[in-house]
Amino acid sequence: MKRYIRNMNMLSKEENEKLKDFKVCVVGCGGLGGYIIEMLGRLGIGHITAVDGDVFDETNLNRQVLSDVENLGKSKAMIAQRRMKLVNPLIEIVPIDNRITEENAEKILCGHHLIIDAIDNIYIRFLLQDTASKLNIPMIHGAIAGWYGQVATIFPGDKTLEKIYPQKDVKGLENEIGNPSFTPALIASIQVSEALKILLNKGEILRHKLLYIDLLEHNYMIMEL
Amino acid sequence: MEIEVRLFATLREGRGKKIFFQFEKGISPHKIIKLLNIKEEDVSILLINGRNGELNVELNEGDVVSIFPPVGGG
């Protein structure tokens, strides 16, 4: 199939064919999530669940790739589905227009091969990690604030978030400094490449590690956690 | 004894990237953040010599303490 021809030389034919069988849950369809869904869909990941209870507003336009002036006020999850129908109708995308809560987390996350953390709340990330662990699903953590971003891959039982955030209920730096257009795209790209490697069981991954990026001062560090 | 403190992201503002301190024995990262006027909730990742560390441990001569604020957006 011509659509995937440019994926073909970096992945084998068999690997490409496998992608349609994977089911990935992207939690958050904002800054990170929009790019993540776009990239997973173009790669040909066969089943994507897009979770977000929010609607687009004008402040999202500076960075959230799924937002535009015509869809302000519309559900982020539903717009993600509409976008993927245009980009790659061969894949299935299931929108969940709801926030992740303690009551619904298991039901939403269950049955996926991988969970991608694209949410904007540190406290809820712990719920995501704990539920992923209970369901025995790996999770790729990503977070952004201004010039700064980070990625870690968390396997069931790793409890990596406890090392990244010693306090669950703190507010991140992004509440002070916001987020520009480029940091979400960068961190989302790294999360998707990490996702692909986990699904296909190849390459080096960021397990028990955190990749920390400071684009202002050009610090790119992988720390052992 | 000498302790090197490396600050990251917005913690650098008004403080610099690297600070070298001379201390007597018995200093902890907790005392250092107080000296630097950094609130505990602004400390997310704390590394001692590149490894995951804790606020209330006694530091040794030559230790390098790295402090990162919480990054949580999505």
Domain at B61, CATH number: 3.10.20.30
Q: How far apart are CA B52 and CA A113, in angstroms?
A: 29
Q: How far apart are CA A127 and CA A168, in angstroms?
A: 10
**Nearest alpha-carbon partner for A147 in A175, A182, A191:** A182
Hey, what domains does chain A have and what are their CATH numbers? 2-224 (3.40.50.720)
**Per-residue confidence band for A49, with pLDDT thresholds at 50, 70 and 90:** very high
Mean pLDDT of A217-221: 96
Three-state DSSP state, A99: coil
Write out chain A residues lying below 8 Å of B72, CB-based: 120-122, 125, 143, 145, 165, 170-174
Domain assignment of residue B41, yes or no:
yes
Q: What does each C-alpha distance from A104 to A99, A124, A133, B25 come to in angstroms?
A: 9, 12, 15, 51
Q: Name the residue range of residue B40's domain.
A: 2-68
Q: How far is B69 from chain A (nearest CA, A)?
A: 7
Domain assignment of residue B18, yes or no:
yes
**Nearest alpha-carbon partner for A191 in A127, A125, A116, A124:** A116
Q: What are the phi and psi torsion angles at B58 (to 5°)?
A: -85, 130
Domain assignment of residue B19, yes or no:
yes
Does the pLDDT of residue A158 top 90, yes or no? yes
**pLDDT value, residue A218:** 96
**pLDDT value, residue B59:** 96
**Per-residue confidence band for A102, with pLDDT thresholds at 50, 70 and 90:** very high
Domain count, chain B: 1
Q: Does B64 touch chain A (CB under 8 A)?
A: no
As for the ipTM of the complex, it is: 0.93
A103-150: pLDDT as tens digits: 999 999 999 999 999 999 999 999 999 999 999 999 999 999 999 999
Mean pLDDT of A34-52: 98
Write out chain A residues lying below 8 Å of B57, CB-based: none
DSSP code, position A108:
H
pLDDT in tens, chain B (74 residues): 999 999 999 999 999 999 999 998 889 999 999 999 999 999 999 999 999 999 999 999 999 999 999 999 99
Most B CBs within 10 Å, among A35, A51, A159, A173, to test the B interface? A173
**pLDDT value, residue A23:** 98
pTM to 2 decimal places: 0.96
Contact between A17 and A44 (Cβ < 8 Å): no
Domain assignment of residue B73, yes or no:
no
B50 with A224: Cβ contact below 8 A: yes
Q: What are the phi and psi torsion angles at B50 (to 5°)?
A: 80, 0
A171-218: pLDDT as tens digits: 999 999 999 999 999 999 999 999 999 999 999 999 999 999 999 999
**Nearest alpha-carbon partner for A156 in A118, A109, A202:** A109
**pLDDT value, residue A7:** 86
A224 with B9: Cβ contact below 8 A: no
**pLDDT value, residue B25:** 87
Domain assignment of residue B23, yes or no:
yes
Q: Mean of the per-residue pLDDT values for chain A? A: 97
Domain assignment of residue B32, yes or no:
yes
Q: How far apart are CA A224 and CA A210, in angstroms?
A: 7
**pLDDT value, residue A103:** 98
Q: How far apart are CA A51 and CA A31, in angstroms?
A: 13
Alpha helices in A57-151 (DSSP H): 76-87, 105-109, 122-134
